[in-house]
Amino acid sequence: MASVYLKISILITCLIFATAFQLLLPVSEAYYSRSLKVGYYRSKCRTAESIVKSTVRSYVKRNPGLGAGLIRMHFHDCFVRGCDASVLLDPTQANPQPEKLAIPNFPSLRGFEVIDAAKAKLEKKCKGVVSCADILALAARDASYILGNISYKIPTGRLDGRVSNSTEALLNLPPPFFNLTQLVASFARKGLSAAEMVTLSGAHSIGRSHCSSFTSRLYPTIDPTMNQTFGASLRKRCPQNTTNDGVVPQDFVTPDKLDVQYYKNVESLTALFFSDWALLTSGETNKQVETYTKEPEKFKQDFINAMVKMGSIEVLTGSPGEVRGTCRFVN
Ligand code: HEM
Ligand SMILES: *[C@@H]1O[C@H](CO)[C@@H](O)[C@H](O)[C@H]1NC(C)=O
Ligand SMILES: *[C@@H]1O[C@H](CO)[C@@H](O)[C@H](O)[C@H]1NC(C)=O
Ligand SMILES: *[C@@H]1O[C@H](CO)[C@@H](O)[C@H](O)[C@H]1NC(C)=O
Ligand SMILES: *[C@@H]1O[C@H](CO)[C@@H](O)[C@H](O)[C@H]1NC(C)=O
Ligand SMILES: *[C@@H]1O[C@H](CO)[C@@H](O)[C@H](O)[C@H]1NC(C)=O
Q: Ligand 4 centre and the CA of 179: distance in Å? A: 6
CATH code of 48-172, in short, is 1.10.520.10
- CATH architecture, range 180-309: Orthogonal Bundle (1.10)
| Catalytic residue set | 76
Contacts 24+ apart (CB under 8 A), 176-181: 176/213, 176/214, 176/272, 176/273, 176/274, 176/275, 176/276, 177/216, 177/273, 177/274, 177/275, 178/274, 178/275, 178/278, 179/274, 179/275, 179/278, 179/281, 180/278, 180/279, 180/281, 180/282, 180/285
Among candidate residues 284, 311, 318, the one with its CA nearest the CA of residue 133: 311
pLDDT band at 33 (very low <50, low <70, confident <90, very high): confident
Q: By three-state DSSP, how is residue 116 classified?
A: helix
Q: Ligand 1 centre and the CA of 72: distance in Å? A: 6
- Measured in degrees and rounded to the nearest 5, phi and psi for residue 49 equal -65, -35
Atom of ligand 5 nearest to the CA of 241: 1
Q: Identify whether the C-beta of residue 170 lies closer than 8 Å to the C-beta of residue 87.
A: no
Q: Does the beta carbon of 240 lie inside 6 Å of ligand 5?
A: yes
Nearest CA to ligand 6 atom 9: 268
For residue 219, which ligand has an atom nearest its CA? 5
Convert the pLDDT of each residue in 292-323 to its tens digit.
Answer: 999 999 999 999 999 999 999 999 999 999 99
Q: What is the DSSP letter of 210?
A: E
Give me the residue spans of the domains in the chain.
48-172, 180-309
Q: Identify whether the C-beta of residue 311 lies closer than 8 Å to the C-beta of residue 155.
A: yes
Q: Ligand 3 centre and the CA of 313: distance in Å? A: 21
- Alpha-carbon distance of 57 to 141, in angstroms, equals 11
Q: Does the beta carbon of 268 lie inside 6 Å of ligand 6?
A: yes
Q: Ligand 5 centre and the CA of 129: distance in Å? A: 55
Nearest CA to ligand 4 atom 4: 182
pTM: 0.92
Convert the pLDDT of each residue in 99-150 to its tens digit.
Answer: 999 999 999 999 999 999 999 999 999 999 999 999 999 999 999 999 999 9
